Amino acid sequence: MRVAIIGSGMVGSSIAYECAKAGAGVTVIDAGRLGGVASAASFAWLNATSKAPKSYYALNALGMRAHLELRRDFGDCPWHRQTGSLEWRTTDEGQAWQRGNVAQMRDWGYGVEWLGKARLAQMEPDIHLAAIGDAPVVYYPEEGWVDPVLYAAWLLRAARERHGAELRPHTEVTQVLTRNNRAVAVLTADGERIEADVIVNASGARSDGDLGVPGLPMTSTPGMLGFTPPVPTTLRSQFHLDDLDVRPDGAGRLMIHKASVDTGLLPGAAVSTDGREAEALLEATRKALPLLQGVRLEAVRSTLRPMPRDGFTCIGAMTHMTGYYVAATHSGVTLAPYLGRALADEIVRDLPHDAIAPFSPDRFFLEQTATSASAELVGVKPVEGPA
């Protein structure tokens, strides 16, 4: 079986690796360099906390487990850190939300514990306890993060070296060619035709594009990250303070994200290291990490978060089009290794996974949502926070 995959970010590289491992002849085609667009500008927090409804929570928990299971194939995974997350909320409303979320996560079997201030001070002495005040602190020991571009590079390397996949960076797909309602090939911008038995569209925020087959309804929105220069910190766990997210990013650099900054971004608008968005990131972070006094951001990144219209993952076969699959999602860093495995099982081994059934693209194209596997998703907000 020949499988052509459009996109080499977290999602495309995972599908490519798992399809190749399952025995398919895989070609990965990316308009840019390998490793993705959103994936290269992602906070990349691995988590399932606060995700709802239960089917979406469960999908994210499977994603976290699949990251650990990759150790069977790769041994030590240099892209993966599991150093836990800390979270506190400074408003009454936020703390009430947090109590409810802790109870829900415990009920669903997620690792979560309340953490005393003395223990926090031992674990992370760089965090300014006065910035926390009386706010209760939660610790999620199973959470962590990934370096997404390294992840993609390693999985694509293994797909090529161990399983014979072909990698085609800097090759834009302009059309999916069909015959009798069956996807048969992709056409590239320079006119090349790449034949395949199955085509998977993992093009991230561009999943709504017109490739001659139906695009997905997407409402992708911009997100921004700030990066400090190396600073003398021993911070190990990431922390989440109201809508602020901070984590180490290697060599003493810190990565900063703030949801309210994202809300003010216009699609395509440039951000800079000395703009007001950068200042908002630094000002909020300095309250918790005084060691950032006088530090400026060294880099900023901004891109679209791939977001299917209802906010949930969209993965599976496209109805009415044999041999054509889609995989578009937010929280794709958390979900990717599981989505890759599930789609490979379905495509190559003909083994459907129940966990992805609610997330089929059918919900956007068939008028049966209320009775379908996706009914649980209707009217629910998928996630609280950045991921």
Ligand X SMILES: Cc1cc2nc3c(=O)[nH]c(=O)nc-3n(C[C@H](O)[C@H](O)[C@H](O)COP(=O)(O)OP(=O)(O)OC[C@H]3O[C@@H](n4cnc5c(N)ncnc54)[C@H](O)[C@@H]3O)c2cc1C
Q: Which residues bind ligand X (CB under 6 A)?
A: 6-12, 29-32, 36-39, 41-45, 172-173, 202-206, 223, 225, 257, 303, 305-306, 329-334, 386-387
Between 45 and 140, CB nearer to ligand X: 45
Q: Which is nearer to ligand X, 221 or 372 (CB)?
A: 221
Question: Which of 42/374 has CB closer to ligand X?
Answer: 42
Q: Token pair of 312, please?
A: 């949930």
Q: Give 41 or 348: the residue with its C-beta nearer to ligand X.
A: 41
| DSSP symbols for 230-245 | P-S----SEEEETTEE
Query: Measuring CA to CA, how many Å separate 339 from each of 64, 65, 105?
Result: 11, 12, 22
The two tokens of residue 104 are: 């829900």
Find the shortest distance in angstroms from Cβ 53 to ligand X.
Answer: 18
Residue of 309, 316, 325 whose CA lies nearest to 356:
316
Asked, as a colleague might, if the bond just before 308 is cis with ω within 30 of 0, I would say: no
Please report how close the Cβ of residue 349 comes to ligand X at its closest, in angstroms: 22
CA 150/CA 188 separation, integer angstroms: 26
Residue 202 Cβ, how far from ligand X at the closest point, in Å?
Answer: 5
- Which among 4, 56, 45, 43 is positioned nearest to 26, based on CA atoms? 4
Instruction: State in Å, rounded, how far the first CA of the chain is from the last one.
Output: 34
Among 22, 11, 191, 361, smallest CA distance to 3 is for: 22
Beta bridge partners of 85: 140, 238
Residue 187 or 375: the one with the smaller Cβ distance to ligand X is 187
CB of 325 to ligand X, least distance (A): 13
If the CB atoms of residues 98 and 334 are measured against ligand X, the closer one turns out to be: 334
The distance of closest approach from Cβ of residue 209 to ligand X in the complex, given in angstroms and rounded to an integer, is 6
Q: Least distance in Å: CB of 213 to ligand X?
A: 12
